[in-house]
């Protein structure tokens, strides 16, 4: 494209809107708006995979994550723990609808890593909605910065968050200010409900004896 996109601009996870860095002046903002369709097309290919996973951490996106007081997060990993044995892959190992042999033949030059690692990080905030990163495609410096910003002094919300944090704490020294685990809340709610039901049953039996 003929228009030079200012650095730091991010495409929103919906692929239809932009996040602008605070460093842009009024004239630069007007130029971005005037070239919005071109900018969206370019950033959609540069900052995202075809499936909508981010492969970069632009300044505007980083700023929004830093400003968020709370985040909901979830990770996908290639192993149960950081110390799990790597999966053994052979030519007959199933990948998608075929095998590793057929996949490699259809995708020359592709490589495969089975080391235990965090593969995808998904984050939800009030301002950004839901965003997900392909961590294998994200540069190492951006990856560490992302881990830091979604944890450091944040209110972190998750389900079975102990699993997510056991991985993330191995990547960054950043720690959340408060943790809300919906799995533990549900267990506590179920336990309280069970106690109330037993108490009600006991009261009913006692009342029937009088």
In tens, the pLDDT along 115-157 reads 899 999 999 999 999 999 999 999 999 999 999 999 999 999 9
What's the pLDDT score for residue 105?
Answer: 87
For residues 170 and 53, give the distance between their C-alpha atoms in angstroms, rounded to a whole number.
Answer: 23
Most confident of 63-72, 81-90, 95-104, 180-189: 63-72
SS3 at position 31: helix
Burial class of residue 21, CB neighbours in 10 A (0-12, 13-18, 19+):
middle
Q: Would you list the DSSP string of 130-144?
A: EEEEETTTS-HHHHH
Alpha helix stretches (DSSP H) within 15-93: 26-34, 36-47, 59-67
Question: Considering just the CA atoms, what is the radius of gyration of the chain in Å?
Answer: 23
Instruction: Kindly report, residue by residue over 62-85, the tens digit of the pLDDT.
Output: 999 999 999 999 999 988 888 888
| CATH architecture designation of domain 10-78+117-208 | 2-Layer Sandwich (3.30)
What the block records as the tokens of 58 is: 């632009």
What's the pLDDT score for residue 202?
Answer: 61
Question: How many Å separate Cα 24 from the centre of its chain?
Answer: 28
């Amino acid at each position: 494209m003929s228009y030079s996109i200012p650095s730091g601009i991010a495409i929103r996870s919906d692929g239809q809107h932009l996040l602008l860095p605070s460093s842009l002046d009024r004239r630069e903002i007007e130029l971005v708006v005037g070239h919005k369709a071109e900018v969206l097309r370019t950033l959609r290919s540069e900052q995202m995979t075809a499936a909508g996973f981010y492969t970069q951490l632009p300044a505007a996106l980083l700023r929004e994550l830093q400003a968020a007081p709370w985040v909901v997060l979830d990770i996908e990993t290639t192993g149960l723990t950081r110390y799990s044995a790597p999966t053994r892959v052979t030519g007959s190992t199933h990948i998608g609808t075929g095998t590793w042999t057929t996949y490699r033949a259809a995708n020359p030059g592709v490589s495969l890593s089975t080391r235990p690692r965090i593969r995808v990080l998904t984050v939800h905030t009030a301002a950004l909605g839901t965003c997900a990163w392909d961590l294998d495609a994200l540069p190492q410096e951006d990856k560490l910065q992302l881990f830091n910003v979604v944890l450091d002094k944040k209110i972190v919300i998750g389900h079975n968050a102990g699993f997510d944090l056991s991985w993330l704490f191995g990547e960054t020294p950043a720690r959340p200010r408060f943790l809300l685990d919906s799995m533990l809340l549900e267990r506590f709610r179920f336990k309280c409900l069970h106690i109330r039901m037993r108490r009600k049953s006991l009261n009913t039996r006692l009342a029937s004896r009088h």
